Structure 1
Amino acid sequence: MNPQENIQLTLEYLSIIVLGGLVIFQLLHFIIGSWRFWKNDKFRIFKTISVGIFWVIYGSFFVTIVTDMTSYYHAVPYVLCGLYLPSIIALFLIAVSKKFKDFVDQTSLRWTIQSVGGPARMIVGIIFLFWFFAGRLPGVVAWVAGPGDWISGYITFYAVKRLRIFKKTADLKTKHWSISDLKKNLGERMPIIPIYKLNRNLNIAIAFVAFGILDFILAPASTALSIFNGNIPEEMGRVPLTLIPLVLVPQVLLLEIFAMRQLIGLKKIIRNKKKPVPNIGNRCARP
């Protein structure tokens, strides 16, 4: 085996280990997140197990179909379906179901924005570039998806940091909080922190999350452009890279949809608040 073959084989094995680890990491986060979310539900065990089973079956189904295709060109419709289907269903339910909207509004913003998507996207972005430099991925795919994923993952930490001001406003002590918790704690009270500061931080967080969602549109578009130019990224239809669009991305995109729903809700709360009441402390009001 020559040095070039050794490099290619090492790349494949390392990618399998890393991406396989990310699949397990994200699955465990969904299971743990579900377990915490339904802590007072009598069907807690059943619902938590169901979430785990759903993602295992969902990912396995689409990975099996795509890897059985003779060419990635023919697999593209199935890849797009696997990538976007959970988010499309979620958007539909958000539009028509108040119960589902209430469910989304109770999910942790830190979890939906950073805990899962942050580290996973940064690692995936680097993997794309490694496969490009090894001559296994077209440049138009790697240089859109790679840096895009890395940047999207990196800025999730800043998005969560920008939202800490809302924790302070509503006096929330836990690091995992949602818009539902904020409404409950804030009530009819006026925020002490100036509205313009809340708005500024929220706009930045929305922009960061929107960038992450946009990246999941641009990356498939770059793949389509590569195919149109006759350079089919066949490796995207094989394990391990096919785990990215069919297992990892659907979960992260779904969580970002949840996060965006809550951030828009925060925007509405701010809009409904009038000028904040000044913090007068223990001073007595003058007649």
Structure 2
Amino acid sequence: MGDELTAADVLVDRLIRWGVDVVFGLPGDGINGFMDALHNRRGDLRYIHCRHEEVAAMAAVGYAKFTGRLGVCFATSGPGAAHLLNGLLDARTDQAPLLAISGMTYHDLVGTSYLQDVNTDYMFDDVALYNQRIMGPAHVVNVTDYAVRTALTQRGPAHLTFPIDYQAAPANSGSRFRRNVEGHTSTAYRPPIRVPRRQDLDAAARVLSGRSRPVILAGAGARGAADEIEAVAEKLGAPIVKAQLGESSFAASPAHAVPRKVGQAAATLVGRLRDRARGEHPE
């Protein structure tokens, strides 16, 4: 095959076009074509070799949480792919953009009890917001764009599974349906802006009305809204307490940032409080 581009090369190139510059994973026979493609683009993409597939998934989720960017992880077929599941569950729970790529047995041996023959697309169906099996070289760009866009816009996990033989197939091989027009998907993307409903703003105003010492707890939901949060803090005269995942929301320490003091009313304007944070006081 020589220097001919493979379908896996196309996938890696598409990830780079989406701005991905680091991936986490563990090699295996079921994902070797993808590994070769990573090696071919080693100057553009940093590969972090993990000791276990679950570690790779959790590392990618952590990367997504603290940077706001897409986390990418991969694993081989069968049990390797299964080990990614906890990471996808964490990404879905905490709304972190994640793309998981798994290997799969040869496309014409699926369902024949061949080595590590698991329908990984079925296995990930309950946890991934977007979940597809790559059906050939002409399918790669389309599903990669859909997977990445879903992970970023819906803030959660997407999954692609890639049969071994298709990974190594020449990029221009196989058939292309005439309606599968090249270029009908793209990497153009702008983060969505969420606007609160008027009734939610009114409810927040009622909670804060008459409170003399409100506090703003800025968590992961504060990302991209630092200016607005500081404007509200200025208006209320409220200190800003940053949760761990809110640290990266501010380029510098906000003017109203203070040590973790407790006010009369703690106003959680952004972020979420779970039962462990609320303790015995759900109200």
TM-score by length of 2: 0.24
Q: Higher relative CO (CA 8 A, sep ≥ 6), structure 1 or 2?
A: 1
* Between structures 1 and 2, the one with greater strand share: 2
* Between structures 1 and 2, the one with greater helix share: 1
TM-score by length of 1: 0.24
